[in-house]
Amino acid sequence: MADTRTATTRTATLLIDGKEVSLPILTPTEGPECLDIRRLYAEADVFTYDPGFTSTAACASTITFIDGDKGILLHRGYPIEQLAEKSHYLELCYLLLYGHLPKAAELEKFETLVTRHTMIHEQMHYFFRGFRRDAHPMATMVGVVGAMSAFYHDSLDINDPRQREIAAFRLIAKMPTIAAMAYKYSIGQPFVYPRNDLDYASNFLHMCFAVPAEPYDVDPTLARALDRIFMLHADHEQNASTSTVRLASSSGANPFACIAAGIACLWGPAHGGANQAALEMLREIGTVDRIPDFIARVKDKSSGQRLMGFGHRVYKNYDPRAKVMKQSADEVLDLLGIKNNPTLQVARELERIALEDDYFVSRKLYPNVDFYSGIILEAMGFPTSMFTPIFALARTVGWISQWQEQIADPQLRIGRPRQLYQGEAQRDYVEVEDR
């Protein structure tokens, strides 16, 4: 692929203390143009300052595009709404990894390859047993996924494209097994081995909810709804956990270590941990009549309370994933015959009030993907502690696609941000008796 990052004719001029610095303007396929500041320090002896990366593109990518103002999410150019309706998770995995929709034979081969990697090394079962039973499944996942590098030595060489591909298959295939085992371990039930005759989502449901003592039939409609949840979480361009994976990988770290770093980052309540926090918040509110008090608390900045499942760094419009998720919540509760679900009632009313309230309107705060996902997962029987592990297993393909893209990039250099140092200027050491 030609390097379009340098094929530019337009420039911007920066004037610093009378000195002109010319900055190339890079043109994207979609979205804002980027000022190329790579030579700024060498030419003008200044850094740029952008904590939180609100205006900084940390990489070039061809995988996912978000238009936050319009509420658009595209994977390899395809809108998420179309993918959620017509595709399925493993096909989306193929699309993210390889850049095109697979032909039937390509998809079949891919599904077979991924399915053949669902079991984990038997010795890893003992590794699980070292954790406390009451450990959060995300804590277990960070540890176990990091430990994969101690078990799969033949897919650690990041300079070998074949080993990278095998690492990708292993991670996508084993993550549901690891997440389900973390859950089973936390509730004291025996691990359930993967079943390769089941599709990706059905296999996960089976590993979570089957017990050896009796048969467990997976409901295909629930499996389809879970598959859609996986799709809605599959990738989201340069979010915090993906950027963590990229930064970790820029040093040449192995894929399992990098994905473990991504899982650790995802756990935070401002990111993937928001789905658990959102459902706990809805439960805490409890009834519709308590919403005004809660909203008042959110508006009082000193309370530290945020409306979880609302707001997004990029979306300044309704998160397109939340629209699909809301529709799925209705369908799943309907299917399960759950009527007048109090949590859903609180969620709907909270959303209605927030979308009319000037505090949220003026800040462009809309429901995000995490606002309704917990309601569906809870209805399926998952405890809140499993919400973020499910996000992690679904996001693994995004992390691994972005990791592959970065390693294949000839311009890859170690990620090494600069800083605005505001500490003490140089000073001399003071002997202890003189302090």
CA distance 337 to 133: 33
Q: Residue 361 interacts with ligand CMC (CB under 6 A)?
A: no
Residues 286, 342 contacting (CB under 8 angstroms): yes
Residues 351, 367 contacting (CB under 8 angstroms): yes
Number of residues that bind ligand CMC (CB under 6 A): 19
Residues 370-389, interacting with ligand CMC (CB under 6 A): 370
**Which two structure tokens, joined as six digits, stand for 224?**
């389809």
Residues 345, 97 contacting (CB under 8 angstroms): no
Q: Residue 306 interacts with ligand CMC (CB under 6 A)?
A: yes
Q: Residue 274 interacts with ligand CMC (CB under 6 A)?
A: yes
Interface segment toward ligand CMC; rule CB under 6 A; list 40-48, 163-171, 267-275, 400-408: 267-275
Beta carbon nearer to ligand CMC, 298 or 393: 298
Smallest distance from ligand CMC to CB 248, Å: 18
Beta carbon nearer to ligand CMC, 95 or 394: 394
88, 117, 271, 312: the catalytic one is 312
Residues 217, 424 contacting (CB under 8 angstroms): no
Q: Which of 5, 313, 316, 348 binds ligand CMC (CB under 6 A)?
A: 313
In the block, residue with structure tokens 């994977």: 75
Interface segment toward ligand CMC; rule CB under 6 A; list 3-11, 68-76, 328-336, 367-375: 367-375
**If residue 94 lies in a helix (H) or strand (E), which one and from where to where?**
helix 89-98
Q: Residue 307 interacts with ligand CMC (CB under 6 A)?
A: yes
Give the Å distances, CA to CA, from 88 to 111, 112, 218, 334.
11, 15, 17, 22
3-state SS, residue 290: helix
Q: Residue 407 interacts with ligand CMC (CB under 6 A)?
A: no
Q: Residue 308 interacts with ligand CMC (CB under 6 A)?
A: yes
- Which residues pair with residue 310 across a beta bridge? 367
Smallest distance from ligand CMC to CB 309, Å: 5
Helix orientation angle between 104-115 and 161-186, rounded to the nearest 10 degrees: 60
Active site residue 370: yes
Residues 242, 128 contacting (CB under 8 angstroms): no
* HSE (side-chain half, CA atoms, 13 Å) at 185: 25
Q: Residue 309 interacts with ligand CMC (CB under 6 A)?
A: yes
Q: Residue 312 interacts with ligand CMC (CB under 6 A)?
A: yes
CA distance 264 to 389: 11
Q: Which of 298, 332, 377, 393 binds ligand CMC (CB under 6 A)?
A: 298
Q: Which residues are catalytic?
A: 312, 370
Q: Which residues bind ligand CMC (CB under 6 A)?
A: 239, 270-272, 274, 298, 306-313, 363, 365, 368-370
